[in-house]
């Protein structure tokens, strides 16, 4: 993490991804529109070489590359490389945007209160180990809840166990499928509260002098 240089500095953001990158796109759009004004996306890393999110980053002129566990010799080597790449660029905030890999306690402690994640449900409902992607929405529909939503939270060693930053509720409609519910939660919650949370944390970092 780098030291503050001037009053107009922005926090440096790294986004970790695994798939299509719709939440990454929401962050890119938020920076362009000025919703995200206290931080700037400087790095995108995917744990999958074929992730479309890498193309989204490239189109936006953001440094992006893939880093796999296989290429790093396993989880320990993977996390060590992640730390090296992130620290060498003076990154202030890490955002997990559809990043489908559990991070160890050593990693999350290294970046204590500097990693945030968006989860497609209202924590503490439908969260924790095994709840990701469409599985979250399938569980919500099976339970028959009338309201679901999304949560942005700090990341610690417990899956979806960190302090909640922001939540937004979304109505579950009659006839919903996991796919239609997933789309509505993204559009009405995730794409709103993830950029808003990033701005909140980046603004706080800049006020505390944790900026470029």
The residue assigned the tokens 């955002």 is 95
Quick one: pLDDT at residue 5?
37
pLDDT number for residue 55: 97
Q: Is residue 6 part of a domain?
A: no
pTM of the prediction? 0.92
Q: Directed axis angle between helix 178-185 and helix 134-143, to 10°?
A: 110
Average per-residue pLDDT for the chain:
94
Query: What is the pLDDT, as a whole number, of residue 45?
Result: 98
Distance, in Å, from the CA atom of 89 to the CA atom of 13, rounded to the nearest integer, reads: 10
Segment among 8-12, 40-44, 55-59 with least mean pLDDT: 8-12
Residue 133 domain flag: yes
Establish if 126 belongs to a structural domain: yes
Strand ranges for 138-189 from DSSP E: 147-154, 164-171
Question: Is there a domain that residue 171 lies in?
Answer: yes
Examine residue 3 and state whether it is found in any structural domain, yes or no: no
User: pLDDT digit string (tens) for 160-181?
Assistant: 999 999 999 999 999 999 999 9
Backbone angles phi, psi at 71, to 5 degrees: -70, -20
136 by DSSP, 3-state: which? helix
Confidence of residue 7 (pLDDT cuts 50, 70, 90): low
Output the DSSP codes for 88-142. Answer: HTT--EEEESS--SPPPHHHHHHTTT-EEEEESS-TTSS-STT--THHHHHHHHH
Which residue out of 113, 119, 137, 153 is catalytically annotated?
A: 119
Q: 92, 211 in Cβ contact below 8 A? A: yes
Report yes or no on 47 lying in a domain.
Answer: yes
Evaluate whether 61 touches 28 at the Cβ level (below 8 Å): no
- CATH code, domain carrying 85: 3.40.50.170
For 131, phi and psi rounded to 5 degrees?
A: -100, 100
> How many angstroms separate the CA atoms of 19 and 154, rounded?
21
**81 within domain boundaries:** yes
The answer on pLDDT for 1 being more than 70 is no
pLDDT at residue 209, as a whole number: 76
Domains held by the chain: number: 1
Is 91 a member of any domain? yes
Higher pLDDT, 16 or 100: 16
113 is catalytic: no
């Amino acid at each position: 993490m780098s030291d503050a240089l001037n009053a107009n500095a922005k926090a440096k953001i790294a986004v970790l991804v695994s798939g299509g990158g719709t939440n990454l796109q929401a962050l890119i759009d938020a920076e362009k529109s000025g919703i995200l004004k206290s931080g700037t996306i400087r790095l995108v890393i995917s744990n999958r070489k074929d992730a479309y999110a890498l193309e989204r980053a490239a189109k936006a002129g953001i440094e992006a590359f893939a880093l796999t566990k296989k290429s790093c010799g396993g989880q320990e080597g993977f996390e060590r490389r992640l730390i090296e790449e992130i620290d060498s660029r003076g990154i202030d905030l890490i955002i997990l945007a559809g990043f489908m890999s559990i991070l160890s306690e050593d990693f999350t402690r290294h970046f204590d209160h500097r990693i945030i994640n968006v989860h497609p449900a209202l924590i503490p409902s439908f969260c924790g180990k095994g709840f990701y992607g469409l599985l979250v929405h399938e569980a919500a529909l099976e339970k028959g809840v009338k309201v679901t939503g999304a949560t942005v939270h700090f990341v610690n060693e417990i899956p979806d166990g960190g302090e909640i930053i922001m939540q937004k509720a979304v109505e579950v409609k009659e006839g919903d499928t996991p796919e239609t519910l997933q789309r509505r939660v993204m559009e009405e919650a995730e794409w709103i509260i993830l950029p808003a949370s990033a701005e909140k944390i980046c603004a706080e970092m800049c006020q505390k002098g944790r900026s470029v």
